[in-house]
Homo-oligomer: A and B are copies of this chain.
Amino acid sequence: MLGNFMYCNPTRIYFGENALDGLKKELPKYGKNVLLVYGGGSIKKNGIYDDVVAILKACGKEITEDPGVMPNPTVDKLYEGCARAKTCKADLILAVGGGSVCDYAKAVSVSTYCDEDPWEKYYLHMEDVDNEIIPVGCVLTMVGTGSEMNGGSVITNPHQKLKIGHVFGDNVFPKFSILNPTYTMTLPKYQMVSGIFDIMSHILEQYFSGEDDNTSDYVMEGLLRSLIHSSKIAVENPNDYEARSNIMWIATWALNTFVAKGKATDWEVHMIGPSIGAYTNATHGMTLAAVSIPYYKFILPYGVAKFKRFATEVWGVDPTGKTDREVAEEGLAEMEAYMRSLGLVMHISEFGVTEDMFEGIADGTFLNEGGYKVLTHDDVISILKASM
């Protein structure tokens, strides 16, 4: 059943090989001061930086650069960005990069004119935004997080050993996002498949929850089938535009709030994975991959009907002559074989996880209530053991 909800997603998407032309249409809507936010500088090698700067200059913008956004943007970097945004009186924050850069841009957007400590107000205490918000636009160069069309913003405080994500309201969503699939083609295969599994995990976290019948589950099955199909092609040929464009669009819709509307969600894999990441600095999508099969095997007995549906509708498992449990397990076996074929990391030991870290990782794992079984601390330990 579709529960009560509010849905609004005002982000304007420009999609395709000429998507950057959309930037020329958007820039006149904002004042002249642009804070240009990016990461380690790969955009200078692949030419995207030059293309963006040329358009900014042609549109008469004053550019203040804010480079060096790290994969897990820190609160110290956030304070630095806010100071720059304030000094240049930014009318627009333009994020050029992947999910971390977009997340960071949203953090600067809400924090620059925050009278209190934004880390405390917006991340520790998750308060609503009541100060001026600087508009954000994104030019996406990596695929996976969905940050280009939602309010999510994860910031890390290394002093407090905390990594907190605030899902802001639609007033903080990017005003526009430029999605050019060719920008994602230069990414190494390890990063590409990690992003692909991040997308899959976003969908599964919303799919494996609830016993009711709702349209979102059918839509997610479609997104999953398309993702599986296109990812197999992309792994063979990373330059296949059709596959890469489908993957980019699926990533956006996997986490732009649509499929979550009116239904329960789980998000437990996204609790365990990042807790491993905190101990190992492993790539986000790979930590999700390494714990997913053990986690789903663990909760399968509590949600057999949905896992059976997953097997038949997503993986095409033939249920003839099999018990529901057998069909459900065959679905996970298909998923595991698919994951191996993609070259995903299937063992947390490969990140350097050792048994003495288990307690700490389990302590750092928030136990959600939306899944088919609410985990205990010991359950998390069991899943970590099975993930070695």
Does the CB pair B8–A246 fall under 8 Å? Answer: no
Q: Taking the nearest CB of chain B, how far is it from the CB of A184, in angstroms?
A: 13
A302 interfacial by beta-carbon distance below 8 Å: no
Query: Chain B contacts of A1 at CB under 8 A?
Result: 241-242, 245
A220 within 8 A of B: yes
Cα A118 to Cα B154 in complex, Å, equals: 49
Residue pair B4, A261 in contact (C-beta under 8 Å): no
Among listed A70-78, A208-216, A332-340, interface-contacting one:
A208-216
Q: How far is the CA of A147 from the CA of B71 in the complex (A)?
A: 42
Interface residues of A in 182-219 (CB under 8 A from B): 212-215, 217-219
- The residues of B that contact A4 with a CB separation of less than 8 Å are 15-19
Which residues in chain A, 1-15, are within 8 Å of chain B measured between CB atoms? 1-15
Copies of this chain present in the complex amount to: 2
Does A24 belong to the interface (CB within 8 Å)? Answer: no
Q: Is the CB of B7 within 8 A of A12?
A: yes
Question: By CB atoms of chain B within 10 A, which of A1, A14, A242 has the most?
Answer: A1
Q: How far is it, in angstroms, between the C-alpha of A10 and the C-alpha of B5 when the chains are bound?
A: 16
Residues of B within 8 A of A6 (CB): 12-15, 22
Assess whether A222 is interfacial by the CB under 8 Å rule: yes
The residues in A between 212 and 245 inclusive whose CB is less than 8 angstroms from any CB of B are: 212-215, 217-223, 225-226, 229-230, 241-242, 245
Q: Does A39 contact B (CB under 8 A)?
A: no
Kindly state whether residue A250 has any CB partner on chain B within 8 Å. Answer: yes
A113 within 8 A of B: no
Residue A279 interfacial (CB < 8 Å): no
Q: Is the CB of A2 within 8 A of B246?
A: yes
Known: A1-B241, A213-B229. A10 touches B8 (CB 8 A): yes
Q: Is the CB of A13 within 8 A of B2?
A: no
List, in ascending order, chain B residues with CB within 8 A of A218's CB. 222-223, 225-226, 229
Q: Are B11 and A8 in contact (CB under 8 A)?
A: yes
Q: Please tell me if A262 contacts chain B, counting CB pairs below 8 Å.
A: yes
Other-chain residue from B2, B19, B217, B222 in contact with A15 (beta carbon distance below 8 A): B2
A249 within 8 A of B: yes
Please give, as numbers and ranges, the residues of chain B lying within 8 Å of A10 by CB-CB distance: 8, 10
Shortest C-beta distance, A260 to chain B (Å), equals 13
* Chain B nearest CB, measured from A43 CB (Å): 21
A213 partner, pick from B11, B15, B222, B230, beta carbons under 8 A: B230
B8 with A12: CB separation less than 8 A: yes
Residues on B with beta carbons closer than 8 Å to the beta carbon of A215: 222-223, 226, 230, 246, 249-250, 253
Please tell me if the beta carbons of B2 and A7 are within 8 angstroms of each other in the complex.
no
A14 contacts which chain B residues (CB < 8 A)?
A: 6
**Closest B residue by C-beta to A241:** B1
Q: How far is the CA of A248 from the CA of B221 in the complex (A)?
A: 20
A219 near B213: Cβ-Cβ < 8 Å: no
Give A4 to B212 CA distance when docked, in angstroms.
Answer: 36
Most B-side CB within 10 Å, residue of A11, A214, A219, A241: A219
A213-B246, A218-B225, A219-B222 known; A8 vs B16 contact (CB < 8 Å)? no
Interface residues of A (CB under 8 A from B): 1-19, 22, 181, 212-215, 217-223, 225-226, 229-230, 241-242, 245-246, 249-250, 253, 261-262
**Contacts A1-B242, A214-B226 supplied; 17 other A-B pairs, CB < 8 Å:** A1-B241, A1-B245, A2-B242, A4-B19, A5-B15, A6-B22, A8-B11, A8-B12, A16-B262, A213-B229, A213-B242, A214-B246, A215-B250, A215-B253, A218-B226, A219-B219, A249-B262
The 3 closest A-B pairs by CB, nearest first: A4-B16, A222-B222, A218-B222
